[in-house]
Amino acid sequence: MRLSFIKCHGSGNDFPLVDGRALDLSDAQWGQVARALSDRAGPVGGDGLLVLTAGDDDAAFGMRMFNSDGSEAETCLNGLRCVARAGFEALGLDRATVRLKTSVATVARATDLAPGVYTVTETAGPATLDVAAWPLDAGAAQVVAAPVPPLDPHRAFTAVAIPNPHLVSFVDRVDEDELVRLGTVCEAAPVWLPRRANVSFVEGRGEDRLFVRTFERGVGLTDSCGSAMAASTYAACLDGRVAFGRDVTVLNRGGLVRARAERDAMVTLSGNATWEWAGEATIDLIHARAGDLTIARHMDAEIAAWAAVADAAC
């Protein structure tokens, strides 16, 4: 099958984005498309696949996100901004409610973070601390700045679902080897964490600035994860590191977002939705391979505008 898509990114979290409103594919087929298009060894590559879907009585449009291993995530907030832009442009909107896999989110066109950087504000939640819903068997109903003994009895985590599950640990300095080790344990779907989880190390970098590094479920070590930045902001507020209702800058390897967590557990992110190029490829659904790539156009001005922001954030 032949598919058209846009290669895009939110804060460096990159994806092929497909308008799936008129496509009739099964969940398994979408998983194969995700594996084909997001394969870093293939012609496109990405952290996963974004799909713009039709709306319903409660939402103007919907979003599905498939990880690079073909599994479907509950949400992806960096990806949501990109899907929001696609939905806005397709339907002539500047704000909307979006249907996610297990929840809804609100999105709106926002003032650009910098000249030429298309920016979307998104609000998701409420974040929940009920680990039984994951499920996570850590010996407690909630985990806030406390160990998860099966993972590491000596490191403190906060367990937050928004709605996908995150284990957040605040560190003086990110040790990527340790992050990968812990993330790999979770990725194996042990009996105490059968649906896996995202794992993030978070550094405080002065007043109202955080740096987040994430081992993402179904992806691995990633330059950016929007829901991890949201979960980390909420966890920082729970831990007294950041005040509820206060804007913070959340940095990552891909750039930054502005974030704010409220006491009602709703979290708002404002960040980029950058188009890089538009193209199409042939998908072999049986073998999950993409080929015969053609690129219709490159969005050089958008790429350059975001590069200036990312360089300044480093």
Active site residue 237: no
Share of the chain above pLDDT 90, in %: 87
What pLDDT was estimated at residue 207?
81
Pick the catalytic residue from 8, 76, 82, 186: 76
**pLDDT tens digits for range 90-130:** 999 999 999 999 889 999 999 998 899 999 999 989 999 99
- For tokens 């344990």, the residue is 185
Which residues, in sequence order, are CB contacts of 205 under 8 Å at separation 6+? 211, 251
Q: What is the mean pLDDT of residues 249-273?
A: 94
Each residue's pLDDT tens digit, 145-182: 999 999 999 999 999 999 899 999 999 999 999 999 99
Quick one: pLDDT at residue 182? 98
225 is catalytic: yes
pLDDT at 314 over 70: no
Which domains are seen in the chain, by residue range?
2-122+273-313 (3.10.310.10), 131-271 (3.10.310.10)
Asked if pLDDT for residue 312 goes beyond 80, the answer is no
Residue 37's nearest CA partner among 219, 293, 222, 233 is 293
Cα separation, 287 vs 39, whole angstroms: 12
Query: What's the pLDDT score for residue 113?
Result: 87
pLDDT tens digit sequence for 187-209: 999 999 999 999 999 999 988 99
- Which one from 8, 82, 186, 225 is the annotated catalytic residue? 225
